[in-house]
Amino acid sequence: MIARTSLSRGITAHRLCKNVTLYLNELASPGARVQSQTPEDHKPLMLMLPWLGSRPQAVTKYCEIYFRTGFDVLVVESEVKDFLWPRWGLDRGKTLLELLQSERFMSRPLLIHAFSIGGYTFAQLLVRISQDKQQYQAVTNRIKGQVYDSLVVGSLEHMATGLAKTLYPRWERLIKQASMLYFCIFKRQTVDYFNTGIDAFYNTPVKAPALIFFCENDLLSHAPSVEKLVDYWQNRGMDVTTKKWEVSTHAGHLRRHPQEYLSTLNAFLHSLHIVPLKAKM
């Protein structure tokens, strides 16, 4: 959750439930008169899914991008337990879908921005949607764009490495070995669910345009696997834009390459025709 002291003027935070916070944006600028013409129940909503263990100050920088362009932001933080025992993650996914279908949000266009393991959290939503496409069709139709930053993709070993680096980097080798053993022992409760989530992500019912940020030196986000996903989506007729760097930082592309990151994201947002403001990012 973003610290209240770091909130911009005109932004108010509302804790909806555990790990879910809504940031309402009442910002107005001389160049943003169009905002007043957008009914509140049709104002775009950013669903932000940060990386595991993300610091509030880091998440704030991304939220500010969307605050300046007129979005409200719904931040859903991931938890280790939802990854280690995916059935809990599926339950959380169902709860989040119910929230997005509630009267407060049911008419609002949605944009997804998921970082690292946040992509796994979104995959849990996709599993739920795939299980009952008719029930969640309205949510699917409201998603107008998808942004993925440093997706944790590749082998099971990549997942274990990501978990170790995120939780206890000083004990990375030990945690990685313990994670692989855990996945082996509880294959039916973990790996089988992971494979279902991967399938739901590849064959996503969400056909909205996607933007993917990644780099070649990311040990957690296997570049060839990301490119394989991009090819698969494009062959299915999806509009996919990518921004790849030879050298960058996992979930840190904005910090490492700020101008390229912002210009790419800005162009993508405007191509969706849902950006309510003409404010400069």
- Tens of pLDDT, residues 30-78: 344 444 445 566 889 999 999 887 888 889 999 999 998 889 999 999 8
Length of the chain: 281
Rg (alpha carbons) of the chain, rounded to whole number: 18
Q: How far apart are the first and last CA of the chain?
A: 22
Angle 159-117-165 from CA coordinates, rounded to 5°: 55
For tokens 């669903």, name the residue. Answer: 47
- 195-203: list long-range contacts, CB under 8 Å, 24+ apart: 196/127, 197/86, 197/120, 197/123, 197/124, 197/126, 197/127, 198/123, 200/123, 200/126, 200/127, 200/129, 200/130, 201/119, 201/122, 201/123, 201/126, 201/229, 202/229, 202/232, 202/233, 203/130
Q: What CA–CA distance (Å, rounded) separates 28 from 26? A: 6
- Those residues whose C-beta lies under 8 Å from the C-beta of residue 239, and which sit 6 or more positions away, are 209, 210
Q: What CA–CA distance (Å, rounded) separates 218 from 158? A: 10
Pick the closest to residue 162 from 213, 78, 218, 82 (CA basis): 218
Q: What CA–CA distance (Å, rounded) separates 231 from 270? A: 24
Partnered with residue 45 across adjacent β-strands are 72, 110
The correct answer on CATH 3.40.50.1820 for the domain covering 11-24+42-156+198-272 is yes
- Tens of pLDDT, residues 117-130: 888 889 989 999 99
Tokens, residue 190: 């973990």
Contact criterion met (CB below 8 Å) for 48 and 75:
yes
Q: Structural domain boundaries of the chain?
A: 11-24+42-156+198-272
Complete DSSP assignment for 102-151: STTTTT--EEEEEETTHHHHHHHHHHHHHHTTTTTHHHHHHEEEEEEES-
Burial group, residue 4, by CB count within 10 angstroms (0-12, 13-18, 19+): exposed
Q: What CA–CA distance (Å, rounded) separates 211 from 265? A: 8
Pick the closest to residue 165 from 154, 155, 176 (CA basis): 176
Q: What CA–CA distance (Å, rounded) separates 237 from 88? A: 33
Q: What CA–CA distance (Å, rounded) separates 243 from 227? A: 11
Neighbours of 246 (CB within 10 A): 8
Angle 91-95-98 from CA coordinates, rounded to 5°: 140
pLDDT of the chain along its 281 residues, tens only? 555 446 777 899 999 988 899 999 986 543 444 444 455 668 899 999 998 878 888 899 999 999 988 899 999 998 776 666 567 778 888 889 999 999 999 999 999 999 998 888 899 899 999 999 999 999 999 999 999 999 987 666 766 776 666 666 776 777 676 666 666 666 666 667 676 778 889 999 999 999 999 999 998 888 999 999 999 999 999 999 999 999 999 999 999 999 999 999 999 999 998 865 444 45
